[in-house]
């Protein structure tokens, strides 16, 4: 059976050029990264920091680890942080901010990920013997749970002004920040210059097998390196992991993300042109959300799609479909056909 995997862009496989880069490694290209002696990792960290306009960066094992390390490095136990109510840090990172960081996590609502920072003023808690101190606000771009929404540059500017006024740090969960930059036709550094720290994934749209990058000031990354060790993320000859991202961070590979966005729009249009009882969200980037009514048993829908060769995740009363490297237009068209067939069969059985 032909399988189309729409579960996530984490299922991507490396490009031929990435494999060539890995195979070209020699012993001299490897070293103990805990001691800062792996030249390939050092090259990657320097390249990544420059790309996002920061002084330094750190290779981490995952985006979740990168986010947590940023929180540990820029706050202290007992502080309070502000996060959007459907953010990845709040919903999908196992409560690490509270359990491991000792942080109070306070959420705020948004309009599909966007909000007016000044309206959060009443949430800020300054030095008071009775209250935790608010010390950080977190952004997410693109916003996963809102369907890959690319948050505008104006939000970053306004959040930066708000943070300066209230003496807050800003951390950006930029797992898919390059998707946002490509979608909005802006250099990634235009977003990251307004934040203190940024994490971005190498193992999503950039198609690497492992890892994320955390970037910030030199002092922050010095602290982060120690927290990475504490969390078990210190690696030895990690050039094996760092080689492929050196290719992924080339401008032409980042620009390739536009193909994923184009395929997501093709998928959206194909699913939109139906009379089924579904609501399809127009994508900004590479994520298409298909919403169902409250009485629909989503596990059954996912199982039926799987039986038809379509792999997808459900997030509440929605199916999330993600386009990525390895899927072409023919795959998208075939996927549309199989998804619509499955949905028609499902609704006719109700």
The string of DSSP letters for 35-73 reads GT--HHHHHHHHHHHHHTT-SEEEEES-HHHHHHHHHHH
Domain end (from 253, 271, 288): 253
Asked, for residue 4, whether it belongs to a domain, the answer is no
**Predicted local distance difference test score (pLDDT) of residue 126:** 85
Q: Verify that 114 and 141 share a domain, yes or no.
A: yes
Q: Verify that 303 and 331 share a domain, yes or no.
A: yes
Asked, for residue 11, whether it belongs to a domain, the answer is no
Q: Verify that 163 and 77 share a domain, yes or no.
A: yes
CATH of the domain at 296: 3.90.1150.10
Model-level pTM?
0.97
Report, in angstroms and rounded to the nearest whole number, the Rg of the chain calculated over CA atoms: 21
Q: Verify that 130 and 102 share a domain, yes or no.
A: yes
Q: Verify that 238 and 276 share a domain, yes or no.
A: no
Total number of domains in the chain? 2
Q: Verify that 64 and 176 share a domain, yes or no.
A: yes
pLDDT digits (tens, 9 = 90+) for 178-232: 999 999 999 999 999 999 999 999 999 999 999 999 999 999 999 999 999 999 9
Burial per residue of 307-323, b for 16 or more beta-carbon CB atoms within 10 angstroms, e otherwise: ebebbbebbeebbbbbb
pLDDT digits (tens, 9 = 90+) for 269-327: 999 977 888 999 999 999 999 999 999 999 999 999 999 999 999 999 999 999 999 99
Tell me which residue of 327, 94, 75 sits closest to 207, measured CA to CA.
327
With a cut of 90, say whether residue 16 has pLDDT above it: yes
Q: Verify that 232 and 295 share a domain, yes or no.
A: no
**Predicted local distance difference test score (pLDDT) of residue 246:** 98
Question: How would you class 234 by CB atoms within 10 Å of its CB: exposed for 0-12, middle for 13-18, buried for 19 or more?
Answer: middle
Domain end (from 210, 236, 253): 253
Residue 309 three-state SS:
coil
Query: Who contacts 219 (Cβ-Cβ below 8 Å, separation ≥6)?
Result: none
Q: Is the distance from CB of 322 to CB of 287 less than 8 angstroms?
A: yes
Domain carrying residue 333: 256-348
Tell me which residue of 104, 76, 78, 79 sits closest to 90, measured CA to CA.
104
């Amino acid at each position: 059976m032909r399988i189309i995997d729409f579960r996530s862009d984490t299922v991507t496989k490396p490009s031929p050029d990435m494999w060539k880069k890995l195979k070209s490694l020699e012993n001299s290209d490897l070293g103990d990264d805990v001691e800062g002696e792996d030249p390939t990792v050092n090259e990657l960290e320097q390249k990544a920091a420059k790309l996002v306009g920061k002084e330094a960066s750190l290779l981490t094992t995952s985006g979740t680890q990168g986010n947590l390390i940023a929180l540990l490095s820029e706050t202290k136990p007992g502080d309070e942080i502000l996060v959007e109510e459907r953010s990845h840090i709040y919903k999908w990172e196992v409560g690490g901010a509270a359990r491991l960081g000792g942080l109070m996590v306070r959420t705020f609502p948004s309009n599909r990920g966007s909000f007016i920072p000044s309206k959060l003023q009443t949430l800020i808690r300054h030095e008071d013997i009775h209250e935790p101190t608010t010390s950080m606000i977190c952004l997410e771009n693109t916003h996963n749970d809102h369907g890959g929404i690319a948050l505008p540059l104006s939000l970053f500017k306004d959040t930066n002004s708000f943070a300066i006024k209230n003496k807050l740090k800003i951390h950006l969960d930029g797992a898919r920040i390059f998707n946002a930059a490509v979608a909005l036709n802006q250099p990634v550094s235009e977003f990251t210059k307004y934040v203190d720290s940024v994490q971005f994934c190498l193992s999503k749209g950039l198609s690497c097998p492992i890892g994320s990058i955390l970037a910030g000031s030199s002092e922050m990354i010095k602290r982060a390196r120690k927290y990475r060790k504490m969390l078990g993320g210190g690696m030895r000859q990690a050039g094996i992991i760092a080689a492929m991202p050196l290719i992924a961070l080339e401008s032409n590979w980042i620009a390739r993300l536009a193909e994923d966005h184009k395929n997501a729009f093709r998928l959206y249009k194909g699913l939109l042109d139906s009379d089924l009882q579904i609501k399809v969200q127009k994508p900004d980037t590479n994520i298409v959300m298909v919403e169902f009514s409250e009485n629909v048993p989503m596990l059954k829908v996912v199982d039926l799609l799987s039986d038809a060769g379509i792999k997808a995740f459900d997030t509440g009363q929605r199916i999330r479909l993600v386009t990525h490297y390895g899927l072409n237009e023919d795959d998208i068209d075939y996927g549309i056909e199989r998804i619509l067939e499955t949905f028609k069969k499902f609704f006719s059985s109700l």
